[in-house]
Structure 1
Amino acid sequence: MDAIIDLGRPKAIQLAELVDRGHRELPIRPDYVGKNVPTSRSEIIQVMLEEVDGVNKVVITEK
């Protein structure tokens, strides 16, 4: 957000997330969510995109 504000004061800042785990460490909530995936704090979500990884999928693994 600091980098955005350095460019000037915006009217609003909106946040989009591909996958929302629901773990909040800051009082910020996304405005747009692709998928809600409840996880434990010991799990990691890896998002794979066809343009980069050759496949569209979400993988949940343990730390």
Structure 2
Amino acid sequence: MTTELREEASHSIQRKKYWIGCIQYFLACREKKAYDLYLEMKFLKVSAVCSPSMRSTSLPSL
């Protein structure tokens, strides 16, 4: 195996690792965002129930 081929092979492996890392990061981000949004909605529901007078001001416009 020539050094050129070997370099090309290791480069493609590096590229695969990079893309896999990117995809994992993206999925983790999306999960965290979804979870954060879920917590936020839960919190807004609780605060809306706790203080009906604050409901109109505490809810952000979506």
- Aligning the two structures, in what range does the TM-score lie when normalised by the shorter sequence? under 0.3
**Larger C-alpha radius of gyration, 1 or 2?**
2
TM-score where L is the length of structure 1: 0.18
If each structure's strand is expressed as a fraction of its own residues, which one has the higher value? 1
More relative contact order in 1 or in 2 (CA 8 Å, sep 6+)?
Answer: 1
